[in-house]
């Protein structure tokens, strides 16, 4: 068993040494990637103007991303609670715990949706007031 572990360790070391030139070549090939990405974004119709990178726009994107992530987490929580309820096997304690988890997940989802609506409204009014839109 020890021989197999040593052989695997040696093979991984050899593989990492052999892969190093490819990593260096990839980094060398990405020097002009930033300009290429901007050209592709412009041709695809994405806004690259300075107003698109203003503070309210950046804050709005961060808030939207955070709320979207929280929504995904709550969906996982809701699925887990449903799984617990389905696998409770008639035990009322586990079923009650799962029901409580589902209730909390739905309350959290309502809070996230309402906070998204409020932040969207406020940021739209802020952007309208600053003329960034």
Question: Averaged in consecutive runs of 10 residues, what is the pLDDT profile of the chain (133 residues)?
Answer: 58 60 56 69 68 72 85 90 90 91 91 87 77 56
Rounded CA separation 87/79 (Å): 12
Q: Where are the alpha helices (DSSP H) in 1-133?
A: 2-29, 33-44, 55-86, 92-130
Q: Where are the domains of the chain?
A: 1-48, 49-133
pLDDT at 53: 67
């Amino acid at each position: 068993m020890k021989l197999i572990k040593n052989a695997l360790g040696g093979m991984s070391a050899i593989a990492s040494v052999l892969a190093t030139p490819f990593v260096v070549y990839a980094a060398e090939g990405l020097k002009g990637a930033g300009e290429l990405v901007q050209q592709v974004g412009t041709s695809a119709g994405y806004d690259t103007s300075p107003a698109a990178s203003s503070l309210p726009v950046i804050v709005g994107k961060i808030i939207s991303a955070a709320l979207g992530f929280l929504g995904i987490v709550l969906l996982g929580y809701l699925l887990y609670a449903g799984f617990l309820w389905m696998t409770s096997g008639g035990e009322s304690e586990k079923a009650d715990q799962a029901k409580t988890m589902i209730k909390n997940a739905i309350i959290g989802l309502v809070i996230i949706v309402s906070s998204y609506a409020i932040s969207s409204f406020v940021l739209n009014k802020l952007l309208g007031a600053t003329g960034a839109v």
